[in-house]
Amino acid sequence: MASDRGALCVEVLEAVPECKRLSRLLECFSNEFARRPSFVVRCSGRVNIIGEHVDYCGYPVFPMAIEQTILLAVAPSDDNLLHIKNADNNFKPYKCNVLNYLIDVPTVGGPHWYQYVLCGVKGILENSTIQHDSPRGMMILLSGNIPPASGLSSSSAIVSATVLATAYMHNATLNKQTLATISAECEKFIGTQGGGMDQAIAYLAQEGCAQLIEWNPLRATPIQLPENAVFVIANSLSEANKAATSDFNQRVVECRLASRLLAKQMKLNWRDLNRFADLQKALGYSLEQMVSLVHANLGLNVYTRTELITLLEVTEEDFADNLLTPNTRNSQTFKLRQRALHVFQEALRVQQFIETAKSTSEDCISRMKTLMKQSHESLRTINECPHDNLDRIVAISDRLGVGTRLTGAGWGGCVVALCDGVEESKRFVETLKTEFYTSIPKAQGCDIGSVCFTTSPQRGAEIYLIDKHQNIWTSSS
C-alpha cells in the first residue's frame, strides 16, 4: 500500500474510471450516512484464461482482471460498529460491533453477501503479524457490477476490497503480495478452501497484460497476449456459488488425499505433502512423470472412506478431523485418480499456453484455442464440474471455431472464449444472442451486453481518496 496517500490529484470526477458509478456511490453514501466517504476502494473481478482447479494444488494459473468491479465507499464511524450497506436494495444491510462479531455461515444457501465483507475486516484486525491502529468502526457502502456466482470472482473481490479498505483505515502498511495472501486466507472464514488465484490477480493485475501467477513465493509475471487475441466472457446464467455446497471443497480434499496417498506409496512423509506441487518437487519428477505415477499407483476410479483409512493407516477420527474439511467430513467416496490426472494435465496445458502466447508463430491463436478446448473437456469429464448451459455455449463455440472453456469453479457461471480478431468475436457474440440467450428465461428482458461481452486486461486494486469538495485522488494499493 502506498505511503503517499494523495500522490495523484484528479480535479474532476470524470477523469476517474467508472465515474458515473462512482458519482452515484458517493451520492448514495451521503444519503445513507449523512456524510461523505473518506475513500473508495476499487477491486476488479477476474477471468481465468486457463489453469482451473490447480491453484490450490500449488500450480500456476493465468488470469486477468476484467472491467467489472466492486466499489467500496468507506468512512470511520464513532460507535465501534460496522455499518455495512449495499447500493442495491435487494441486499439487506448489516450492523455489528467491530470488537465482537462472528461469521456464522448458514448451512443452507451459503454465506450472506455481507459476510464476505466481515471476512476482510477480520483478516486484518485479527492477524497477529500485522501492526495496525486500534480497531474502529466503519461505514461501508458497496456497489458491484460483477455478476454474483458467475465464476468471475465477485465474492473474492469483495473480500479483497475489504482487506485493502480495512488496512488503509487502520494505517497498516502492507505490500500487494501480503494483501493477496491475507485475502486468500481470510476467505476461509466462510469455508472456501481456495488456492489464492482470485486474490492474487485482484492486487497484482496490470492493464494490458494477463498474469502468470505462481506460488511460494507469490509472484506475478505479465504475459503479453497475441495482438489479434480477443476474449469474450459469456454468462451461462446458471449461478454457481462454490461456498454454498461441498462440491468445490470436495475437489480440494480429493486432491489433498491423492497427494498424501501417492506420497505414502513413495515412502515420503505423507502428512506434510498435501499439495501436488510439493509432492512433485519432493520426487523431482516432471509433470509428465507425475501423470505416469497416477496411472501406475491410483488404480481405483472410486476410493471408499474405509479403503483410504486402511491405506493411510489412520483412525476414523484422524481422517475426519485432520484430512477432511467441515463440509466434507461426511463424504464416503473419493475420486483421487480423476482429480490428480486433471491437475497434472491442466498444469501442463498452462505451460504450453504460456509458451504459445509468447511465440510469434502464425498459428499461435489456433493452438491456444485447442488448449482451452482440452481444458474444458477435462473439467467436464475428469474433474466433473460441468453444467448443461456451459456445454451448450461450448458446442456453439466449437461450431464457430472459437476456443472456449468454463472459467471459475464450474457447475454454472461463465465461459471464457478466445477469438481470432474482432470480427470473429462479434460473430460469436451475435450467435450466442440468437442461439443461446433467446432460450434462457433469465435472459429475457435483461441487457445481453452485461452477460456476454468482450474484455481486456485491467489493473489491480486501487484506492480513491475523496476530499470535502468531492475531488478524487488515486492511491495505488
Convert the pLDDT of each residue in 353-375 to its tens digit. Answer: 999 999 978 999 999 999 999 99
pLDDT at 190: 84
Domain with CATH 1.20.1440.340 in the chain: 248-340
Residues 6+ apart with CB under 8 A from 230: 418, 419, 420, 421, 422, 424, 425, 454
Whole-prediction pTM value? 0.87
pLDDT at 84: 98
pLDDT at 4: 38
Residue 250 pairs in a beta bridge with: none
Query: Tell me, what DSSP letter sits at residue 470?
Result: -
* The C-alpha cell that represents 209 in the structure block: 497484460
Find the distance separating the first CA and the last CA of the chain, reported in whole Å.
Answer: 4
Pinpoint the alpha helices (H) of 333-406: 336-358, 364-381, 388-400
Residues 6+ apart with CB under 8 A from 19: 13
For domain 231-242+364-455, the question of CATH label 3.30.70.890 is answered with: yes
pLDDT at 414: 92
Summarize pLDDT for 218-229 with one digit per residue, the tens. Answer: 999 999 999 899
* The C-alpha cell that represents 442 in the structure block: 433469465
Share of the chain above pLDDT 70, in %: 93
Topology annotation, domain 248-340: de novo design (two linked rop proteins) (1.20.1440)
Residue pair 192/248 in contact (Cβ under 8 Å)? The answer is yes
- Location of C-alpha cell 454454472: 412
Residue 464: CB atoms within 10 A of its CB come to 22
**Closest to 98 in 3D by CA, of 169, 34, 16, 30:** 169
- Under CATH, to which class is 3-225+459-465 assigned? alpha beta
Concerning whether 198 is annotated as a catalytic residue, the answer is: yes
Pinpoint the alpha helices (H) of 126-246: 154-169, 176-186, 197-204
Q: How high does pLDDT run on average in the chain?
A: 91
Summarize pLDDT for 424-457 with one digit per residue, the tens. Answer: 999 999 999 999 999 999 898 888 888 999 998 9
Where does residue 134 rank: exposed (0-12), middle (13-18), buried (19+ CB within 10 A)? exposed
Q: Which of 198, 247, 318, 391 is catalytic?
A: 198
pLDDT at 388: 94
Residues 6+ apart with CB under 8 A from 57: 195, 255, 259, 275, 276, 277, 343, 347
Show the low-confidence residues of the chain (pLDDT under 70).
1-18, 194, 240-244, 468-477
* CA count, 13 A, side-chain hemisphere, 230: 16
Domain with CATH 3.30.230.10 in the chain: 3-225+459-465
pLDDT at 265: 98
pLDDT at 116: 94
Summarize pLDDT for 58-116 with one digit per residue, the tens. Answer: 999 999 999 899 999 999 998 999 999 999 999 999 999 999 999 988 777 778 999 99
φ/ψ (deg, to 5) at 68: -70, 140
